[in-house]
Amino acid sequence: MKTIRLIAITVLAVTALTILGAHYLAPAGYEQQFRETPQAAPSMHHLLGTDELGRDRWARLLYGMRVSLTLAPLAALFTTALAGLVGGIAGYFGGWTERCCKLLIDLFLSVPWLFLLITVRAVLPLNVSPEASVTVTFALLGLLGWAASARVICAGAKDLMKSEFVWMARASGFSGLKLIRLHLMPNLRGALLAQFWISIPVFIIAEANLGALGLGVAEPLPSLGSLLRELQDSVMVRPEPWRLLPLAVLIVVISSFQVLLNKQEIRN
Amino acid sequence: MKRHYLVSTIVLLGAISTFAQSGGELRFCLRAEPKTFNPLLVEDEASETIRYLTGGVLVRVNRLTLKAEPELATSWKVSEGGKRIRFKLREGLKYSDGTPFAAEDVAYTMQQLMDPALHSSTGDAFRSAEGKLTTNVVSAKEIEIDFPAPVANLVNLFDTVAILSAKSPQKEMAALGPFYVAERKAGSYLLLKRNPYYWKKDAAGKQLPYLDSIRLDIEQNPEIEAMRYKRGEVQLINTVSPAIFEKLSADNASVRDAGASTDTEQLWFNQVPGAPLPVYKKSWFASTNFRRAISEAINRNDLARIVYRGHAVPAIGIISPSNKFWFNSDLKPHAYDTADALRRLQQDGFHLQGETLKDKAGNAVEFSIATNAGNRARESMATMIQQDLKKIGIKVNVVTLDFNSLLERMTQSYNYEACLLGFQNVELDPNSQMAVWLSSADNHQWNPNQKSPATPWEAEIDKLMRAQAASGDEHKRKQYWDRVQQIAWEQEPFIYLINKDALVAIAPAVKNAEPSVFRPQTFWNVETLALAH
Amino acid sequence: MLRFWSGAVLRLLAVMLMASFAGAMLMRIAPGFSSDDQELNSGLSAQSIQAIRRAHLVDSDIPHFYGQYIASLVRGDLGTSRSLNQPVKELLRERLPVTMVNLAFALSVGWLLGLALAIAAQTWDIPALSFLANGLSGTFISIPAAALALVFLLLRWPPAFAAALLVFPKIYRYTQNLLQQSSEMPHVLTARAKGAGPWRILTWHVAPIAFPQIMALVGVSISIGIGVLLPIEVVSDVAGIGQLAWQAAQARDLPLLVNLTMVVTFVTVCATLISDAAQRGFKRSAA
């Protein structure tokens, strides 16, 4: 198991380095169109070939990773914090508070938020930069994605509140913040972490899907999501394995995160 | 054109004798569920397909020769300067449920169609002035229709009028065309069966259509459609995207490029005076020099070559050269010339400062191009234009919006700067462009619903458009329309980008197919299509 | 018991009403509510275009629309879809079973896989097994629903199976975590020290502690199932409610959207209620 952990650490380190060094590693700008060689196969000039507009796929992958792998975890962190807050409050207080929170959760899971996103796009100025647009998108995802996690956290917290050691802690005078910090949080940590890394790929993909509504990254900025969306337009692709690389990168990076977090969890 | 027709007729007759025996089921896909089965209310493409396959029309425009050919009417005569048309009808015809067809049905259909409360584009095409239409059933096989004002292109308009039965208990589902709707499962498929009472016979006297049935699967995803075509599950694709076309042809599937279509893709700037945009931007967009400079800075050849993989031609103007009669052949393609573009911009006081273009007042030139999300080709074109314009110091932001949001910006709030969209030109006659080119029209996109023309050239276009609509003389109309094309070429309110090719896929098993660039490309001659076993 | 269920029904109704009303409001506020692609049809006269716009504005007073909708809903009339020109009731009758069957399949297969692997990994300490299970769940958790749907389309496998594989990692991860935590609790450690076998520990000591949270996960998994199934339906062209919802959203089809929100809310809230009830029932029997 130790080797797996090592591999995971290496993967993440390499990812972090490539993200930071995208500017130096990319042979060309992500937006530069080599119009004489659209859809080229991998070569010395273009390691992963070029896309349909002749842009270097390798450069786009590097910058796409930078965008998605920095913003998606941030959004996931935010959403997990919200879920922890609402779920935690519901579980800690119980009774009416819990009922209200659950109602809110149900409501959040049922409302078609799509239209809120469309409205936000309408409110944003047209000449907003691609970077700002993608940041707003991830912020929205973080703001809207907490409900499902909150329910799980709530169930966990409620259970803990009834467990013996919390009773004992209460009996020995622990209450409020201290109880939450020393007893609830450490025991909810597993559930929270699980929600955290489940959210990351979900957000990366959601960002791509929102492209269909004009949110998310705008051309020419790439994101992992927008690179994956290009895959959707090619069900019939004859085997061109290098086109699947964004998907492979996503799987490897997320898996590495999971391996690492899992281990930490067990160690605790 | 004539010789082409002759050749195709000979080929057709030859094919008919070879495949007269085949029946079978033809299968192809609809991209969406038909919204209506009432042929008078057809607006969407799926309903249009059903109307084409099931409706009986008085005249049919041959999609290769573009000439009107007799169908339910054996002959017709236009008189009173285009206000009156008299049809002689075929006798002894029956609807698919056995109800006999008579002149009353034509009268009934026309009355229904022209009911102002119906709001159908089929009916609106006949509406050149206020007033009521009168129908006069002269005899069981003859009818006279009077319009309140002359209607341009009158005969060809009847190509879209499927004649309803006034008496059939099945109402609009009773078909006079080669097929009728026999079965449907919402969201999944439609089954059309041959109309047993269909009147047309082939040269050998065999009753048409050759096919027993047509199965239309509802399939929204063109990739899946292409995959099913490759597997032989469907036999036709009416419009193939260039990327899929290339993939299919690389896999040796049968695909054809029927040549440039009449559809256009264009870019335009918002010139609405009340638009919520900065005043300096409005003045850029209103400048002819600015628009022409942008047009010259766009490399249309690259758009056609890269985005459409060579299956498109750089557009010249309103009318595609494939619309041979109406195209103004004096117009030449807009040159790609960044130096000249900069020269034009300088005339308006624009200047390059470093790598940024600035206007007279020193504002950096930056604008957004909005297009509908989900259309890869348009997104790609916008991205290429973004890079093209960067070369003359202009910063372009590409904004993709869902279609309804974009529409609201285009037609209600006018909160956009430039827009990239495509128009389908189904009708070839200039009269069908009235709603676009009249300055008072809704579809005068760059500045719609004007009380009075905002510019002298729009005033001139208004005059020319009205003149062509009122004239019965085709050559005069052509002159007026040529001048409109000329003005549009010079002013470029729409910066036309490319004309797409009509790309189709027809399985080798489908015999007698003669794809046309005009809709419905692959099955316009459906009654003579046959399947080889 | 009666109090619980009457409360549950009230909650269900309240959420359904609030969610569908909020959905209607959001659609009204979002741009494009009164737009119709027919406005670009140059064959239509100015009067016809005006008529189309007016028709779209009929429902623009949402409280009024909603009141009327509820009134006819009580009579069993769900209204008519604006974009598809068909009674909503008919559309739901045709499409709902498709989605429900797929959802049931995806959930049962997803749960079966997830639980089996989690329990196996917990019970037998075989590194290869947990490595495999972790690898599988890690892979499927990172694959976008739409991409997996495409792969399945190519292989001609049922789309519901793709949904099952996407539900599975969430079940697996979560139950595995729970089992892990529960097995580290003092009484379990004591039992183990006393020499209880792995099965006995699982069934007698671990499962009872983990059970309520697993039950809560049932509800969540239904939401997750719907969440992955709907995009899969759109990609694979399954004529279910996911596809319908996407069409309704694009065409700003208010009557259709309100009804679909009702349906999705009904399923989601029922799922929550089921898990709540299961937890209560469990506690009662445990007490």
**B84-98: per-residue pLDDT in tens?**
999 999 999 999 999
| pLDDT tens per residue across span B298-346 | 999 999 999 999 999 999 999 998 888 899 999 999 999 999 999 999 9
Instruction: Tell me what percent of the residues of chain B surpass a pLDDT of 70.
Output: 96
- Quick check: B186 and C94 CB within 8 A? yes
Is the model's pLDDT at A201 over the cut of 50? yes
* CA–CA separation, C134 and C121 (whole Å): 9
Are A122 and C138 inside 8 Å of each other by CB? no
Which pLDDT score, from 0 to 100, does residue C283 have?
60
Among candidates B35, B185, B218 on the partner chain, residue whose Cβ is nearest the Cβ of C85: B35
- Report the pLDDT averaged over residues C159-186: 85
Q: Would the pLDDT of B258 be above 50?
A: yes
At C83, the amino acid letter reads S
The confidence band for B18, taking pLDDT boundaries of 50, 70 and 90, is very low
- Residues of B whose CB is below 8 A from C235: 221
State mean pLDDT over B362-385.
94
B419 vs A208, higher pLDDT: B419
pLDDT at B387: 96
Helix residue spans in C46-158 (DSSP H): 46-57, 62-74, 88-123, 127-142, 145-155
Per-residue pLDDT averaged across C185-190, rounded? 80
Cα first-last separation, chain C: 15
For residue B40, pLDDT beyond 70: yes
The reply to whether B382 touches chain A by the CB within 8 Å rule is: yes
Q: What is the pLDDT of residue B506?
A: 96
Say yes or no to pLDDT of C277 above 80: no
Q: Which residue has the higher pLDDT, A198 or B2?
A: A198
Looking at chain B, which residues constitute the CATH 3.10.105.10 domain(s)? 264-501
Tell me the pLDDT tens digit for each residue of C196-226: 777 777 777 777 777 777 777 787 788 788 8
How many domains does one find in chain C?
1
Cα A62 from Cα A18, distance rounded (Å): 7
Higher pLDDT, B110 or A111: B110
Domain at A120, CATH number:
1.10.3720.10
- CATH number of B59-174: 3.40.50.1220, 3.40.47.10, 3.40.50.2300, 3.90.76.10? 3.90.76.10
The HSE-up count of residue B245 (CA atoms within 13 Å, CB side) is 21
pLDDT of residue C52: 85
Are C35 and B423 a contacting pair at CB < 8 A?
A: no
Domain span(s) for CATH 3.90.76.10 in chain B? 59-174
More confident residue, B502 or B11: B502
pLDDT band at C281 (very low <50, low <70, confident <90, very high): low
Phi/psi of residue B287, nearest 5 degrees: -85, 125
Write out the residue range of the structural domain in which residue C38 sits. Answer: 2-286
Percent of chain C with pLDDT over 70: 96
Residue B14 has pLDDT above 60, yes or no: no
**DSSP character at residue B57:** B
* The token pair that represents B396 in the structure block: 């372009």
Chain A hits for B367, Cβ within 8 Å: 127
- Write out pLDDT tens, residues B392-413: 999 999 999 989 999 999 999 9
pLDDT score for A62: 93
Least confident of A167-171, B438-442, B481-485: A167-171
pLDDT by residue (tens digit) across B129-161? 888 899 999 998 999 999 998 888 899 999 999
- Report CA-CA distances (Å) from C203 to C72, C182, C189, C196, C280: 51, 12, 14, 11, 20
Question: Cβ separation of B404 and C52 shorter than 8 Å?
Answer: no
Q: Does C280 touch chain A (CB under 8 A)?
A: no
How much is the pLDDT for B265? 96
Q: How far apart are CA A198 and CA B284, in angstroms?
A: 49
Helix (H, G, I), strand (E, B) or coil at B195: coil
State the pLDDT at residue A238: 57
Mean pLDDT calculated for residue range B173-195: 93
Minimum-distance CB partner of C40 among B219, B433, B443? B443
Give the Å distances, CA to CA, from B216 to B27, B31, B438, B510: 6, 10, 39, 16
Residue A84 lies in domain: 2-35+43-267
| Chain A neighbors (3+ CB pairs < 8 Å) | B, C
Residue C279, judged by CB atoms within 10 A of its CB (0-12, 13-18, 19+), counts as: buried
As a whole number, mean pLDDT of residues B260-285 equals 95
Residue A234: pLDDT band with limits 50, 70, 90? low
Do residue B374 and residue A235 have CB atoms under 8 angstroms apart? no
**CB B407 to CB C35 under 8 A?**
yes
| Residue C287: band (very low, low, confident or very high) from pLDDT cuts 50, 70, 90 | very low
Residue C126 in contact with partner chain A when CB distance is under 8 A: no
Q: What is the pLDDT of residue B253?
A: 87
Tell me, what amino acid is at B299? Answer: N
Residue B483 has pLDDT above 90, yes or no: yes
What is the Cα–Cα distance from C198 to C204, expressed in whole angstroms?
10
Q: Is the pLDDT of residue A264 over 60?
A: no
Express each pLDDT in C83-116 by its tens digit: 888 899 999 998 999 999 999 999 999 999 999 9
The CATH H-level (homologous superfamily) assignment of domain B264-501 is Dipeptide-binding Protein; Domain 3 (3.10.105.10)
To the nearest whole Å, the CA of C23 is away from the closest chain B CA by 17
Cα–Cα distance for residue pair B258/B505, rounded to 1 Å: 10
With beta carbons under 8 A apart, name residues in chain B contacting A53: 306-307, 380, 383-384
User: What is the mean pLDDT of the segment spanning C144-173?
Assistant: 85
The model's confidence at residue B437, banded by pLDDT at 50, 70 and 90, is very high
| ipTM reported for the complex, 2 dp | 0.88
- Whole-Å CA distances, B200 to B178, B206, B208, B530: 8, 9, 6, 15
The confidence band for B17, taking pLDDT boundaries of 50, 70 and 90, is: very low
B459 or C252, which is more confident? B459
Domain CATH code at residue C217: 1.10.3720.10
Whether B482 and B328 have beta carbons less than 8 Å apart is answered as yes
Tell me what percent of the residues of chain C surpass a pLDDT of 90: 29
Topology classification of domain B23-55+177-254+507-533: D-Maltodextrin-Binding Protein; domain 2 (3.40.190)
pLDDT band for B68, please (50, 70, 90 cuts). Answer: very high
